[in-house]
Homo-oligomer: A and B are copies of this chain.
Amino acid sequence: MLAENSIKVMGSEERQVSIGRLCIGGKAPLAVIAGPCAVENEQMLRETARQVTQAGAQMIRGGAFKPRSSPYSFQGLGLPGLKILHRIGQEMRVPVVTEVLDSGDVDMVAEYADVLQVGARNMQNFALLRKLGTIDKPVILKRGLAATIEEWLLAAEYIMVGGNEKVILCERGIRTHEHWTRNTLDLSAVAVVKNRSNLPIIVDPSHATGHTHLVAPMARAAVAAGADGLMIEVHPCPEKAMSDGQQSLTPNQFQKLMTELSRVAAAVGRCDI
């Protein structure tokens, strides 16, 4: 299906995506995005942001609009959460990343976030992708739970065809029969994407594995496989998290991981973090 006319994701020169002073992809240093699953309140986000940036994270993540399987689960703080995230980003002088769920929310979210994220469930929400193609902010496009890599690249093309070529792919696990992990992290997707497209790709080992103790080994493996960056859930007190606590690192665990990642990045010839 991907043929000559799908030129944007397949052109030969490797793309780098700039986010302020930062750069993701190509020969740029490993980019690490960290923060809580959801923005719960200003104090927790500030504390988390302070600790993860001190440990070396270059961007802060935090969900304001949460796509939850059940309508009765915590749905995120919405606009107030977005404003908190924005404020913390300004204070810390780091870019902030958050998810957008609907084409109708893109303009609002783009006002507050530096990078907009499309979640796995929306990978083929084409109206959302097309709308994101019209803005001038980088987009992180997560892989769908049952998406082939080909479909994922075509979803990126939906954004790029509209004029926004700042697309970063994010592998976050696919759904299989294995039930001791939340999803199955497909690290071969990193190498395939590098081979078949010119887009940068990062990895989210937190959602992929669903268990704190699996995050560090999979983060190290992602870097060794050639990932351009990582997105990692960190919560000051995982057991009290309003969502996904069982897969969040503590700030201390995150700091330790950053040291390990630095060594692996160097071993595979990627500039230090």
- Residues of A whose CB lies within 8 Å of any CB of B are 1-2, 5-6, 67-72, 101-105, 121-128, 144-146, 148-151, 154-155, 157-158, 161, 174-181, 184-192, 194-196, 208-209, 213-214, 217-218, 220-226, 260, 263-264, 266-268
Q: Are A186 and B178 in contact (CB under 8 A)?
A: yes
Q: A121-B124, A154-B70, A225-B221 are in contact. Are A148 and B268 (CB under 8 A)?
A: no
Copies in the complex: 4
Give 18 A-B contacts (CB < 8 Å), ordered by A residue. Answer: A2-B70, A69-B155, A71-B154, A102-B103, A122-B124, A125-B125, A144-B145, A146-B177, A149-B180, A179-B179, A181-B192, A188-B208, A192-B214, A195-B213, A217-B224, A220-B225, A223-B224, A224-B224
Q: Are B176 and A196 in contact (CB under 8 A)?
A: no
Task: Give the residue among A68, A126, A148, A221 with the most B Cβ atoms within 10 A.
Answer: A221
Task: Give the residue among A127, A149, A184, A208 with the most B Cβ atoms within 10 A.
Answer: A127
Q: Are B146 and A145 in contact (CB under 8 A)?
A: yes
Q: How far is the CA of A252 from the CA of B185 in the complex (A)?
A: 30
Q: How far is the CA of A205 from the CA of B226 in the complex (A)?
A: 15
- Note all chain B residues with C-beta closer than 8 A to A266: 267
Q: Which 3 A-B pairs have the closest CB atoms?
A: A146-B146, A102-B127, A224-B224
- Nearest residue (CB) in B for A157 is B71
Among B101, B148, B180, B267, the residue within 8 A (CB) of A177 is: B148
- Note all chain B residues with C-beta closer than 8 A to A191: 209, 213-214, 217-218
What is the interface of chain A mostly: helix, strand, loop, or mixed?
A: helix
A220 to chain B, nearest CB (A): 4
- Note all chain B residues with C-beta closer than 8 A to A174: 146, 176-178, 184
Q: Are A72 and B5 in contact (CB under 8 A)?
A: yes
- Note all chain B residues with C-beta closer than 8 A to A158: 71
- Note all chain B residues with C-beta closer than 8 A to A144: 145-146
Q: Are A102 and B121 in contact (CB under 8 A)?
A: no
Q: How far is the CA of A151 from the CA of B71 in the complex (A)?
A: 11
Q: How far is the CA of A175 from the CA of B186 in the complex (A)?
A: 12
A29 to chain B, nearest CB (A): 16
Among B149, B151, B188, the residue within 8 A (CB) of A218 is: B188
Q: How far is the CA of A102 from the CA of B121 in the complex (A)?
A: 14
Task: Give the residue among A67, A154, A188, A208 with the most B Cβ atoms within 10 A.
Answer: A188
Q: Are A127 and B154 in contact (CB under 8 A)?
A: no
Q: How far is the CA of A67 from the CA of B104 in the complex (A)?
A: 18
Among B146, B151, B264, the residue within 8 A (CB) of A264 is: B264
Q: How far is the CA of A248 from the CA of B224 in the complex (A)?
A: 20
